[in-house]
Amino acid sequence: MDAEKHALLTLHLIPKIGNVIIKNLISYAGSAEAVLQLPKSKLIKIPGIGNQTTENILSREISEKASNEFLKAEKADVKIISYLEKDYPYRLKQIPDAPPLIYTKGFFPPKENKPTIAIIGTRNATEYGKKLTEEIISTLAPLDPIILSGLAYGIDIHAHRSALKNNLSTFAVMGSGIDVIYPAAHRSTAEEMQQKGALISEQAFGSKPDAFNFPARNRIIAGMADLVVVVEAAKKGGALITAELANSYDREVAAFPGRVHDTYSEGCNKLIKQNKAHLVETAEDVLYIMNWELENQATLKQKVLDLASFEEEEREVLNTLLQNDRVLPIDIISIKSQINLNKLASILLNLEFQGIIKSLPGKRYQII
């Protein structure tokens, strides 16, 4: 077993420690394994670490629990993925409070070059909301996007089922342990999703769907998405929390407007009124906001590149993109092309002006 990963899971399982404190501890000690080897006299002096947390870090019991988690994962065909591994979702890694580990079951990791759309809303979805969910997913299906939601009643489960109906990958972020399907009525959908998508949780095996787990679940949904679409929402609730988080992570947020006195349109209208969400009425609005093109449109505009007509470093950048499904984040382009970020930004801008590439959410670039 990977000792560093085991140490990271041990820290993750400590009650009320929090992801930011875990990262601070690792930064202080150099690694998760080194944190567990620190003496009590040093641990107690680290800001934010009290007596109880110090005792928990040194506890043999929690270390043994981590070992049991790995055994349970192996038996249940569950992957436990740390933020240090390549399979950890790239978008999620960018947020400041990303979980150090996630549990996944199914087809994982998601393809990073696919648009990822979180579709969320009230548990008390109206027929209007269900119809909007179906329409936006079916219209955007040619993009082959990943549909992300929370497996809850209402808009969430309708989004997952609409994705499956359109043969799309769909991922559910859970507020319970990966082995605790909540609500239980959605078990068959959760199982079907795993053929092309997956279940995701940061909670330990057996964790109940306690109320305080759901705001934490919502940040993962916001962090993994390029775009968060709020279909229907009351004035308060989880959908609005997710939208607020998405804004704080510099993700795009969109909302469908509704009638003034409709309870489950109040949240959407509020987001739009406060300029916290784009007003969308159709899937075409989403394409415009995100600068996305449907497959048939993209095919018409596809260009056969004559690389000989470009400068040497431009050729290097274009070759890098062509070798990686035509789309990559800027930091990966820099690593693969061996061009520093400052110079690379200038090259990308020039290629964008020429209409050769386009910028995408999450500082990614794609050959048009």
pLDDT value of residue 258? 93
Decide if 138 is inside a domain.
yes
Backbone φ and ψ of 170, nearest 5°: -135, 140
Is 158 part of a structural domain of the chain?
Answer: yes
Number of neighbouring beta carbons within 10 Å of residue 265:
24
What is the C-alpha separation between 32 and 29, in angstroms, rounded?
8
Examine the fold and report which residue of 45, 75, 105 is the final residue of a domain before the chain moves on: 75
Parent domain of 52:
1-75
Task: Supply the pLDDT for residue 303.
Answer: 43
pTM, rounded to two decimals: 0.78
End-to-end alpha-carbon separation of the chain, Å?
44
The whole-number pLDDT of residue 302 equals 46
Residue 92 domain-assigned (yes or no): no
Task: List the structure tokens of 58.
Answer: 């040194």
Is 276 within 8 Å of 289 (Cβ atoms)? no
- The predicted pLDDT at position 363 comes to 86
Report the side by side order of strands in the sheet with 364-367: 327-329, 364-367, 357-360
Residues 315 and 277 in one domain: no
Four-point Cα dihedral 211, 192, 132, 139, nearest 10: 140
Q: Is the peptide bond before 109 cis (omega within 30 degrees of 0)?
A: yes
Q: What is the block-wise mean pLDDT of the chain (368 residues), using blocks of 10 residues?
A: 88 86 86 90 83 86 94 96 90 90 94 91 96 95 95 97 96 97 97 96 96 93 97 94 95 95 94 97 93 60 61 87 83 88 90 85 86
Q: How many domains does the chain have?
A: 3
If asked whether residues 163 and 249 sit together in one domain, one would say yes
Contact present, 92 and 220 (Cβ < 8 Å): yes
**Same structural domain for residues 284 and 191?**
yes
